[in-house]
Amino acid sequence: MRSKITVVGAGFVGSTLVQRLAERDYADVVMYDIVPNMPQGKALDMLQAGPVLGYDSLITGTNDYADTANSDVVVITSGFPRKPGMTRDDLVKKNQEIVAQVTEQIAKYSPHCIIIVVTNPLDAMAQLALHVSGFPRERVIGMAGVLDTARFRTFIAQEVGASVRDVQAYVLGGHGDTMVPLSRMCTVAGVPIAALISAERIEQIVQRTRDGGAEIVKLLGTGSAYFAPSASVLQMIDSILLDKKMIMPCTVYLQGEYGVNHLFVGVPAQLGAKGLERVIEIELSHEERALLQKSVNAIQELVTVMGI
């Protein structure tokens, strides 16, 4: 029997993700949105691409949460997008009500699903989804570090003229200005980047990674990134539905790991059929721990603002 995936929000991130999932051809996909007829139209268009691209995925657009029932994975992308000059932190109150309502419906119709949160500010919204759903921590995961690490790897590959496949890196912490790219542990084909790139240039790349989303928002003028975010969610779903046990940086609920309790923070995590299967603890330097703690404090402030 084919798996069932629901994507809540048929905007740029949501609809691009649905297209990518359909082309994977391992699951049927439901695309929900509050806008009448819009998800239905996009779904029909994608469905008609199946004969050309060779996939048999059933794609359903809907305005009714009942159509999402018994999903294996539900991705939350709905919410207000970030606008030029707006930080992720500015979004918290705007998106809190939306994500809470969405999560209530998800828990009602798919009580055994795994939730992947994409809506910003991502760490806070994942904390909210866990709180509202009442799910165990293994079944609520935020997409953050996969995207941030992809940006970091892209900039490093461009700098040294190597394939992105040869670049290994991790970005920890919150999905925002306080994220912690671990340049010390970054390698290109096993060679530490400190041997390939000057310290000054590495710091510039680290800062560009932190500003990665804002850079795209500024260039677009309206809207925000969606190609790389949707690809990042796809990798997470691949690992979950295909039980690949991949280790990737995700926002997960920590229970003592990295000295953090009861808070969603981006760390390396192993994803499989059960959702979060293991948190991987990396030995951090004193400076890296201090930066991670700064990021943790920023996330905690947002959670406090939400009052949960």
Task: Write the CB contacts of 24 (distance below 8 Å, at least 6 apart in sequence).
Answer: 55, 57, 234, 238
Helix, strand, coil: what percent of the chain each, to 5?
A: 50, 20, 30
- What is the C-alpha end-to-end distance of the chain, expressed in Å? 38
189: left (phi over 0), alpha (psi -120 to 50) or beta: left
Residue of 131, 175, 262, 286 with catalytic role: 175
Burial class (CB in 10 A: 0-12, 13-18, 19+), 29: buried
At which residue do the structure tokens 């991705």 appear? 75
Known active-site residue 175 = yes
**Can you point out the beta strands (E) in 22-139?**
27-32, 59-62, 73-76, 114-117
d(CA 39, CA 158): 37
d(CA 162, CA 165): 8
d(CA 218, CA 196): 30
Distances (CA, A) of 269 to 48, 207, 216, 240, 281: 37, 24, 27, 12, 9
* Residues labelled as active-site residues: 175
